[in-house]
Amino acid sequence: MIRSLSKPTQYLITFFLLLLITFLHFIKPPSIEVSSIFGIDKFFHFLMFCSLTLWSCFVFSKERIKLFVIFLIFYGLMLEWMQMAFFPLRSFEWMDWLFDALGVLVGFFTFTKKL
């Protein structure tokens, strides 16, 4: 189904998924009790980046997906830094970035079956 879409449409959807992840990083999370290390927050970081990576594996060629995977890992780092720098009462969390990167890597290696 994904491959039946035109390439410009696939790229546009990828762009909007990146915007959605950016928006979700910057909104104030609901005030629920979560474990500071492995709570629901970390699960959603993992899930967002794993889903985006799996989608991207269908969109990009084998050569480009490796570059996009590297981009996504650094994109997650940049989002964490921007949270700290531009949003009051938000902070940089290494564990959030770790789960972003872990989601990217699991998505990529699940798709390529090179675990």
15's CB contacts (< 8 A; 6+ apart) are none
pLDDT of residue 33: 58
* Cα 96 to Cα 104: distance, rounded to the nearest angstrom: 13
Is 93 domain-assigned? Answer: yes
Is 40 domain-assigned? Answer: no
Number of separate domains in the chain:
1
> And the tokens for 94?
């290494």
* Cα 25 to Cα 6: distance, rounded to the nearest angstrom: 29
Is 69 domain-assigned? Answer: yes
Sequence length of the chain is 115
Is 90 domain-assigned? Answer: yes
Is 41 domain-assigned? Answer: no
Closest CA to 100 of 28, 18, 33, 2: 18
Is 79 domain-assigned? Answer: yes
pLDDT of residue 1: 76
Domain residue limits at 88: 2-19+50-112
- Per residue in 27-61, pLDDT (tens digit) is 876 665 555 556 788 899 999 999 999 999 999 98
Is 94 domain-assigned? Answer: yes
Is 10 domain-assigned? Answer: yes
